[in-house]
Chains A and B, each alone.
Chain A
């Protein structure tokens, strides 16, 4: 049982490049979400999914796309990276509305 895994751990992009942050969980959780963490801002919700085939926007969705083709995977896509997307990204999953979520180890992204 690996919990929530994220790849890569670190990434440096140039402005305008695209990339996908991977997130996978092996706990059969229905709910998955992406957060970004910025200094002095706490964590803010980017996108979330309540099950395979269902996604919705969170607080800061602009510049990011998601899809949920399987229960296990929830990738986050940056189509055209901008310096404002420099951040640490966390994926989380949970099975109930009272679970509070299990977080992955994070991906530190720098956009130059």
Chain B
């Protein structure tokens, strides 16, 4: 079946540090890939997405590239801010379906 594996958290960084959160997936065919962010006490917000191989999704300084050869969709940001502290979820959907399959989430804390 389809599955998503994220790096275990929590991740603690200092402000302006470089961020990488690893995400790999298992799926047949060509899934669409997503990163969601959940700020404390809130629902999930779509951060970025990519729908085909080699696509790069980007938003708010975050980037992720759909790598079919390594079945990965790692999230990166060059310089994190305290306001980026949140839980980040990697997710996929199979083509033609909106049934999201989520990773377990990675909690990021950024200290000033």
Residues on A lying within 8 angstroms of B by beta carbon are 4, 31, 33, 35, 40-45, 48, 58, 90, 92, 94, 97-106
Contact = CB atoms under 8 A, between A and B. Distances in A.
Given A45-B99, A45-B100, A103-B45, 7 more contacts: A31-B98, A33-B98, A33-B99, A33-B100, A90-B43, A97-B93, A100-B32
Chain B, interface size category, equals 20 to 34
A contact face: mostly helix, strand, loop, or mixed? strand
Contact of A42 (B46, B93, B98, B102): B102
Given A42-B104, A42-B105, A100 B46 contact: yes
Given A41-B104, A42-B105, A98-B32, A104 B99 contact: no
B98 A103 contact: no
B96 interface: yes
Nearest to A3: B43
Nearest to B44: A103
B34 interface: yes
20 contacts: A4-B43, A31-B98, A42-B89, A42-B103, A43-B102, A45-B101, A48-B99, A58-B99, A97-B32, A97-B93, A98-B49, A99-B98, A100-B46, A100-B49, A101-B100, A103-B36, A103-B43, A105-B43, A106-B42, A106-B43
A94 B89 contact: no
Interface in B72-99: 89, 91, 93, 95-99
A108 B84 CA distance: 24
B112 to A, nearest CB: 27
Contacts of B102: 35, 42-44
B7 to A, nearest CB: 13
Nearest to B105: A42
A2 to B, nearest CB: 13
A47 B13 CA distance: 37
B58 interface: no
